[in-house]
């Protein structure tokens, strides 16, 4: 089966149909997705800041890592499931969306970033566990991780703005230009009716 | 409120945002979400410590000293980006029940947080069920924040459907 046929089949499943039809389900999926990603980024950032040496510098890294990471993974599972459920409602559109593709790529990069850390410094954590910041590679991993996740969040938000009907139905009003508004003394142009 | 929202939408800053909404609104919303993430992650850490489920190598006071300032500064970031979103889309934000319920819950969680800090300074034990409640309240704040875009799900409770 080629990918287009597969996406169409996904979209045609009874589950996808149910999510599209129910008033509350899609918004609740979005909200749960935000809760999940907030926990993912919120907890990962705590680890990253510890790696960089900007916060929690006095604590054992190993202790923090094992304390926090299980919550990160739990939240990631929640985010992945809600994300997948949103994806199947409109699979053909999301699949071709630039921001969706970029987001998936960045997620893979974030995964590789974490894998690199686990396979290098993660293996000899005892040698730097108590130092206020990780060795240079670890600090780089921390900075990269924060940047990648913030961009992932932005890409995710852009998906919503470029794939729903709301985005298509509300183009910027024609003939309203802020520069004109600054340069001409008259009253401001009326805003578009929402 | 309706009239205020309509007036606000004719002011220069609002018109500016409306004209640049292709990137402005998503960008501000993304910063808002990053702020929410910092708050939620920090609140999670403090609450897990209160419940004794994580961070037990630290005292509660150490945990609070580490995370509470991040909550406070993120709340200012959330306030600033939130105000920008209201200025950019006054009617969409203010004429909804979701927005005002959300503001109510933000006020409730702030009262709980201030009370917690006062208890901590007085060396009194925090109330454990409030730790769970705070987390639930924050989850509801996030849900209501998203529902601002879908206020019609409230049916006749939503002022947006009457307009």
Flag whether A41 is in a domain: yes
Domain count, chain A: 1
CA distance B74 to B37: 9
pLDDT tens digits, B32-69: 999 999 999 999 999 999 999 998 999 999 999 999 99
List the single residue in A45, A68, A157 with the smallest CB-CB distance to B26: A157
Flag whether A173 is in a domain: no
| Chain A residues close to B58, C-beta within 8 Å | 59
- Let me know: does B98 contact B48? Beta carbons within 8 Å: no
Find tokens 């409306």 and name the residue. Answer: B18
Average pLDDT over residues A113-141: 93
CA distance A116 to A118: 6
The full DSSP string for A85-99 is HHHHHTHHHHHH-HH
Task: Compute the Cα dihedral for A60, A61, A64, A67 and give only its sign.
Answer: negative
Backbone φ/ψ region at A22: left (φ over 0), alpha (ψ -120 to 50), beta:
beta
Domain count, chain B: 1
Which residues span the domain enclosing A68? Answer: 3-163
φ/ψ of residue B58, rounded to 5: -120, 155
| Chain A residues close to B18, C-beta within 8 Å | 172-173, 176, 191-192
Q: Considering chain A, what is the average pLDDT of its residues?
A: 87
Those of residues 7-36 in B touching chain A at CB distance below 8 A are 9-12, 14-16, 18-22, 25-27, 29-30, 33-34, 36
Give the burial string for B96-126 (b: 16+ CB within 10 Å, else e): bbbbbbbeebbeebeebbeebeeebeeeeeb
- Let me know: does A34 contact B138? Beta carbons within 8 Å: no
- Let me know: does B78 contact B102? Beta carbons within 8 Å: no
Neighbours of B38 (CB within 10 A): 22
pLDDT tens digits, A73-82: 999 999 999 9
CA distance A107 to A41: 12
pLDDT tens digits, B115-153: 999 999 998 888 889 999 999 999 999 999 999 999 988
Which residues span the domain enclosing B60? Answer: 2-162
pLDDT tens digits, A28-77: 999 999 999 999 999 999 999 999 999 998 899 999 999 999 999 999 99
């Amino acid at each position: 089966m080629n990918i287009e046929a597969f996406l169409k089949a996904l979209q045609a499943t009874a589950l996808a149909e149910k999510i599209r039809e129910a008033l509350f389900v899609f918004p609740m999926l979005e909200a749960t997705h935000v809760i999940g990603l907030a926990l993912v980024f919120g907890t990962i950032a705590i680890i990253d800041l510890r790696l960089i040496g900007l916060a929690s510098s006095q604590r054992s890294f190993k202790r923090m890592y094992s304390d926090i990471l299980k919550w990160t993974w739990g939240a990631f599972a929640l985010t992945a499931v809600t994300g997948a459920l949103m994806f199947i409602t409109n699979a053909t559109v999301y699949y071709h969306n630039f921001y969706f593709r970029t987001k998936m790529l960045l997620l893979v990069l974030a995964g590789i970033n974490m894998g690199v850390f686990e396979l290098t410094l993660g293996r000899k954590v005892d040698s730097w566990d108590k130092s206020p910041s990780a060795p240079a590679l670890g600090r780089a991993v921390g900075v990269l991780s924060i940047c990648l996740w913030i961009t992932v969040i932005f890409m995710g938000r852009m998906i919503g703005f470029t794939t729903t009907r709301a985005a298509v139905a509300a183009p910027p009003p024609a003939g309203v230009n802020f520069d004109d508004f600054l340069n001409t003394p008259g009253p401001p142009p009326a805003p578009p009716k929402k | 409120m309706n009239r205020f929202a309509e007036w606000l939408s004719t002011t220069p800053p609002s018109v500016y945002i409306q004209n640049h909404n292709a990137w402005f609104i998503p960008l501000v919303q993304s910063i808002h979400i990053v702020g929410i993430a910092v708050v939620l992650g920090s609140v999670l850490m403090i609450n897990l410590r209160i419940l004794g489920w994580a961070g037990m190598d630290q005292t509660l006071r150490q945990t609070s000293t580490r995370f509470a300032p991040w909550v406070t500064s993120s709340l200012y970031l959330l306030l600033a980006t939130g105000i920008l979103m209201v200025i950019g889309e006054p009617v969409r934000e203010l004429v909804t029940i979701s927005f005002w319920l959300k503001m109510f819950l933000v006020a409730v969680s702030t009262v709980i947080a201030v009370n917690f800090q006062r208890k901590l300074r007085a060396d009194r034990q925090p109330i454990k069920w409030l730790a769970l409640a705070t987390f639930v309240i924050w989850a509801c704040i996030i849900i209501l924040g998203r529902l601002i875009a879908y206020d019609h799900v409230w049916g006749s409770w939503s002022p947006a459907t009457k307009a």
